[in-house]
Amino acid sequence: MASREMVPVVEPDLPEPSGPAARRNRGVLGSLATAVVRSPKALVGVVILGIFVVMAVGAPLIAPYDPHDTEFGRAEGPSGAHWLGTTTYGQDVLSQLVYGSRQSLLIALLVGGFATLVSALLGVAAAYVGDVADHVLSLVTDIFLVIPGLPLLIVISSYIRGGGLMVMVGVIVFTSWAYGARQFRAQALSLRHREFLEAARVRGERTSYTIVFEILPTMTGLLVANFLGAAVGGVLAVAGLQFIGLGDITSISWGSMMHWAENNEALQAGSPLWDLAPGLCIALLGASFALINYAFDEVSNPALRPPRRRRRGRAVA
């Protein structure tokens, strides 16, 4: 949602920082690693993300109870046996929270991946093919960009009713690819007359081959930034949908926890953590992606990097 708008545009074409350390670290993973090492912001992001990954993978070991169990006291506050209290239905909030991380991470991965794929293909195709295709694709992109995403998402989902995880992911990708496509198009336009593309044209390569194997690999920075942005957007969108009661609300997830908590007025009824804890997790997960993205952006776009304080008596390189 809002966060998509904030993802700064990455310009991987800008010169990498000089010096031996930078030269060794070419490539996406390299610059991601550089970002993490250089910036405390990215480190915080990676650590938070790591904790959630551990939580999702090791859920059966970490969660104190079965998340579906309804045999505990109803709407209890935090206690030694139930650190975050219990729900009105007699479930353990902490166990649900731990298991809930699985769906959110999965959605981040799926929406991030598919949305980036769609954005990249449509954006690059528009720029590379040009002419009528570009006009049509750009127009469609602009239309999708202006139509408010969440209301559209809500309207579509309410016609579908229910539907599993993949349906939700599909609808989110459908409503959210436009912002990325525009960035990819802008980036691809700047490459259009480069020699390696002229060469591909002379060799008579197919358009699809050129787009996938020649152009996309040069945009790794933008691909990563887009993936991270779309992943945050996806997690927030699913949470918002489930909070309203749309999409898949019978599964154990942070969004559906908040939905049932709201339905039972958990805030006023003495089990506020049922409502607040899953939201905090969504917030932390979103923040971790945003932090990694920001640090990564600072590495690939030196103009945004915090200015170094000059040391006296030394020439500034």
Partner 1 sequence: MPRLIRRLEFFVVTFWAAVSINFLLPRMMPGDPVQEMMNRMKGQISPARRHSLEVMLGLNTQDPLWKQYLDYWGQVVRFDFGSSITYFPDTVTNVISIAIPWTLGLVGATTVIAFTVGSLLGATAAWRRGGVLDSVLPPVFIVVGALPFFWVGLLFLYVFGVVLGWAPIGFGYDVTTGEFDFSWTTISQILSHAILPATVILLTSVGGWILTMRNTMIGVLNEDYVKMARAKGLPAGRIMVQYASRNAILPNLTGFAMSLGFVISGALLVELVFTYPGVGYLLVQAVTGQDYPLMQALFLLITTTTLVSVLIADGVTYVLDPRTRGKD
Binding site for partner 1 (CB under 8 A): 1-6, 8, 41, 139, 142-143, 145-152, 154-156, 158-161, 232, 236, 239-240, 243-246, 258, 267-268, 272, 275-276, 279-280, 282-283, 286-287, 289-291, 294, 303-304, 306-307, 309
Burial zone of 227 (CB within 10 Å; 0-12 exposed, 13-18 middle, 19+ buried): buried
CB of 234 to partner 1, least distance (A): 12
Find all residues with CB under 8 Å of 75, minimum gap 6, and list them. Answer: 85, 86, 87, 88, 264, 266, 269, 270, 271
- Of 211 and 232, the one with the shorter C-beta distance to partner 1 is 232
- Of 63 and 238, the one with the shorter C-beta distance to partner 1 is 238
CB of 5 to partner 1, least distance (A): 4
- Of 53 and 160, the one with the shorter C-beta distance to partner 1 is 160
- Of 200 and 299, the one with the shorter C-beta distance to partner 1 is 299
Is residue 1 a contact partner of residue 240, using CB atoms and an 8 Å limit?
yes
- Of 128 and 177, the one with the shorter C-beta distance to partner 1 is 177
CB of 291 to partner 1, least distance (A): 7
CB of 183 to partner 1, least distance (A): 13
CB of 150 to partner 1, least distance (A): 3
**Measuring CA to CA, which residue among 170, 172, 162 is closest to residue 247?**
162
- Of 4 and 82, the one with the shorter C-beta distance to partner 1 is 4
Find all residues with CB under 8 Å of 88, minimum gap 6, and list them. Answer: 74, 75, 260, 264, 266, 269, 271, 274
Give just the sign of the alpha carbon dihedral 84, 90, 92, 98: negative
What length is written for the chain?
A: 317
CB of 231 to partner 1, least distance (A): 11
